[in-house]
Amino acid sequence: MAGANKSEKSNKSEKAASATTGAKTVSRARVPRHPRNPVAKAIQRPRTQQPVQHPGDPESPRAPVPRAPGALLVLFGAKGDLVKRLLLPALYNLTRDGLLGDDVDILGVDHNPNTDAAFRSQLKVFVKAQAVKKVKPAVHAATSKKLQRTHFDTAVWNDLAKRIHYLQGDFLAPDTYAQIQQRIDAHANGNAVFYLATAPRFFGDVVGQLAQNGLLAESGGAFRRIVIEKPFGSDLASAIALNQRILSSASEQQIYRIDHFLGKETVQNILVSRFANGLFETFWNNHYIDHIQITAAETVGVEERANFYDHTGALRDMVPNHLLQLVAMIAMEPPAAFGADALRAEKAKVIGAIRPQTAAEARANSVRAQYRAERLNGAPVPGYREEENVKRGSQTETYVALKLFIDNWRWMGVPFYLRTGKRMSVRDTEIAICFKPAPYAQFRDTAVDRMQPNYLTFQIQPDEGMWFDFQAKQPGPELRLSNIQMGFAYADYFSMTPSTGYETLIYDCLIGDQTLFQRADNIENGWRAVQPFLDAFAAADSPQVAHYAAGSEGPKEADALLERDGRSWHKLG
């Protein structure tokens, strides 16, 4: 491995010693940033995988995960991309893994005319594309270490497809709901999940129609649940109003406000890493942590979402939902138990503790920008204002950076820097925790000119895993330090089958586990934290949106946001 300065003979000796003792070899340096070398043992297996006992693992395999209970899954907005590209592939994966039985039926509802056979045929194209992927087997697997292509299982698809049906109907017409009621009555147990994969403007109306037509009434042990996609509101006032409208028709226990980020294994692993490893809690506070950075960078532009995006922007699209959920996972207090109520209460508390900012503070602690035209890989890439369906002279941001504080005992004085943008240099979602540097005094009369900070990085996507930076002495007579990275990559330890991130969330909804779904107060606290920045961006005296080159790491104004605090952004990629 580059930078390790180890001879081949030395490497062989270390491997032999590891094989003799049963220990795992630990990476001492790594370049590039994400090696394929396992150095940690995961605590929580992906829910959609059956447990496997690895060599040297003292634990016996756990019992298989039980199948979800039977239900009719009603998908409003069935012709949309969300259903085709994410939800149906997730349902296929759950069926493949034995977590959905023959008693889970799917009913797609949309205003466009269609038939059951045509609907199934259209969905098969997308499910097959998701199923056929190249994946790297786990290091511990007995199979080849080369990339392996997963396959589309026709038998699994046929088993699922026979339970997929289509209903043409207007979301606002009572007759649509009468027909849905007939389908529920015909189902074996009367359970139903209503998934709102629609435009946000329909959320309140669909829930109201469900209630008015008696579809939310629970009796005889049957459940009725509603899944609502983001965005949940467009500001604090609209989020409060939508919560009030929905809660007037259904109870909080029936509502599953979904954020697909929470379905990612690496996001769930944040909690396990924090609370199942005793070493972290000691230094998880403002005594040892200097600051925290949370990044969600995308290489794509707005593409076909321009109509939606130009009225939304990066702040509304990403911060109240995805980024603040990551803040909650990192910053929350340990829950009394890992049940839904306890965990969601702690998340709501910590988001509610985000410091309110005045108009002047919001302007000073934020940057908004748009990508401009550039040549990438020899081809021209349009700027945001040149994208189709974007208003000329638009001030909508495709990049936003914020500086937040959490006013509680644990995090007082620790800044949280958030950034998200489109057309960035690499695709990278990560949480970088920067620890306070060690004292320099003992190195003053040496060749060491400065101390590098230690970072603990949770890599959400791609190259999912955890990485820790620390200082080590370079070989040689002089005292010189190198920044070394030690890490754990999910793909090195687990056989990662293709997934969309929705599998765990759909399964949890069917079994009635709300742990990974947002509660009303959490939604409102998130918008409450973001509202000062929305107001600052909308103010008449707001500065014009800044710009950054497509394919870069963002605008220079975002660099200045940290530089004035004597800090810098963690490098992307």
CB 400 within 8 A of CB 319: yes
Show the CA angle centred on residue 122, arms to residues 117 and 123, nearest 5°: 100
Active site amino acids: 322
- Residue 524 and residue 545: Cα distance in Å, rounded? 27
- Residue 315 and residue 324: Cα distance in Å, rounded? 11
Show the CA angle centred on residue 250, arms to residues 248 and 253, nearest 5°: 130
Q: 372: which strand partners?
A: 549
- Residue 500 and residue 429: Cα distance in Å, rounded? 16
CB 534 within 8 A of CB 402: no
- Residue 548 and residue 397: Cα distance in Å, rounded? 11
The candidate with the shortest Cα–Cα distance to 156, out of 205, 202, 203, 98, is 98
The amino acid sitting at 166 is Y
The candidate with the shortest Cα–Cα distance to 510, out of 76, 193, 88, is 193
Query: 185 φ, ψ to 5°?
Result: -60, -30
- Joined together, the tokens standing for residue 463 give 């190259």
* SS3 state of residue 100: coil
- Joined together, the tokens standing for residue 461 give 């996507």
Count of beta carbons in the 10 Å neighbourhood of residue 2: 9
CB 486 within 8 A of CB 470: yes
Q: Which helix (H) or strand (E) holds 430?
A: strand 428-435
CB 485 within 8 A of CB 33: yes
CA gyration radius, the chain? 25
Q: 73: which strand partners?
A: 106, 193
Torsion of CA 517, 263, 91, 222, to 10 degrees: -20
CA dist 494 to 94, 276, 520, Å?
Answer: 18, 19, 35
Q: Which helix (H) or strand (E) holds 383?
A: none
CA dist 310 to 363, 534, 536, Å?
Answer: 21, 14, 18
Q: Which residue is it, tokens 């606290």?
A: 525
CB 311 within 8 A of CB 534: no
CB 451 within 8 A of CB 483: no
- Residue 569 and residue 572: Cα distance in Å, rounded? 8
- Residue 166 and residue 466: Cα distance in Å, rounded? 43
On the CB side of 325, CA atoms within 13 Å amount to: 24
